[in-house]
Amino acid sequence: MDEQWSLEARAGRPPLEAVVFDAGGTLVRLDFEWISEMLAELGVAATPAELRMAEFAGRRRYDASAARAPRTPASGPHPVLGSVGPGEAYFAGLLEAAGCRHPVLEEALERLRERRTPPHFLWARPMEGARQALDALARLGLRAACVSNSDGRAEQHLVDCGVRAGLEFVVDSQLVGLEKPDPRIFRLALERLGVPPGRAVYVGDLRSVDEAGARAAGMHFVLVDPSGGYAAPGTPAIAKLDDLPALLASRFTLVASRSAPNLPSS
């Protein structure tokens, strides 16, 4: 660290070289449009915009359920969203907040399970602002990667949604045998980047998974929180992903890397 960086760090703006993203809920989002149509077939009226806000009830239910979930060698330190337990709590919380009740709730949950089973995708839409944010980070010279709790298809999700370009690599929990919030999966990405944790920020949507794991690995953290009420006090948060570059510029000394890709916006 040169003298200027030292001055910035002492002023509360540490150097930043890399941004690591979550996939589902961050770079790609749930197909709220499909969920809205599915619920309409079951007699439940919920617009995609209403489902976006209902999803935060799912996040809170997930966080609470994950805190109670037993840790076993078979399940790993944290179940992925596609698994039973906390994953079902997430979707039940979302659906109930959207007005779905028994017995329709059980049918809706079953349809969601089918929709996230290969070859289908449920996190099937690019997050609004994701492409713009990735392009802006590349122009700033910041390196970018992705770490996802997924079923082995995270990279394909990102390609299909048009947000793979700009990421140096994707670490998929299913493929490496580690799951967030285990700090080892974050450290694996940092090792591949060759960047120390204090010079990297993780951007994610779940406090119990993304924030807990990133902080345990020694990384900075930014929460994607369009609701404005999910983030813990003091946690940096953004309402939309294309707000990220400005937030990082306000909190860090951005260190352009020669290894940063110069990629097109397509």
pLDDT at 65: 84
DSSP letters, the chain, are --HHHHHHHHTT--EE-EEEE-SBTTTEE--HHHHHHHHHHTT----HHHHHHHHHHHHHHHHHHHHHSPPBTTTBSS--TTSSTHHHHHHHHHHHHTT--TTHHHHHHHHHHHHTSTT--SS-EEPTTHHHHHHHHHHTT-EEEEEE--SS-HHHHHHHTT--TT-S-EEEHHHHT--TT-HHHHHHHHHHHT--GGGEEEEES-IIIIIHHHHHTT-EEEEE-TTSSSSPTT--EESSGGGHHHHHHHHSEE---TTS------
Per the structure, the complete domain to which residue 156 belongs is given by 3-28+124-254
Query: Both 137 and 84 in a single domain?
Result: no
Tell me whether residue 85 is in a domain: yes
- Residue 47 located in a structural domain: yes
Candidate from 113-122, 138-147, 166-175, 257-266 with smallest mean pLDDT: 257-266
Percent of the residues in the chain that have a pLDDT greater than 70, as a whole number:
86
Shared-domain flag, residues 111 and 182: no
Pick the range with the lowest mean pLDDT from 45-49, 86-90, 122-126, 198-202: 86-90
Indicate the pTM of the whole model.
0.88
**Chain-centre distance for alpha carbon 98:** 22
Domain check: are 150 and 240 in the same one?
A: yes
> How many domains, in total, are found in the chain?
2
**Residue that finishes a domain, picked among 85, 115, 145:** 115
Note the pLDDT tens digit of each residue in 62-73.
999 877 654 444
Is pLDDT at 250 greater than 90 in this prediction? yes
pLDDT of residue 77: 45
Quick one: pLDDT at residue 69? 55
Residue-wise pLDDT for 21-49, tens only, equals 999 999 999 999 999 999 999 999 999 99
Q: Of 115, 134, 161, which closes a domain?
A: 115
Give the pLDDT score at 66.
Answer: 78
Q: Say if residue 239 is in the same domain as residue 137.
A: yes
Alpha-carbon gap, residue 90 to 25, rounded angstroms: 12
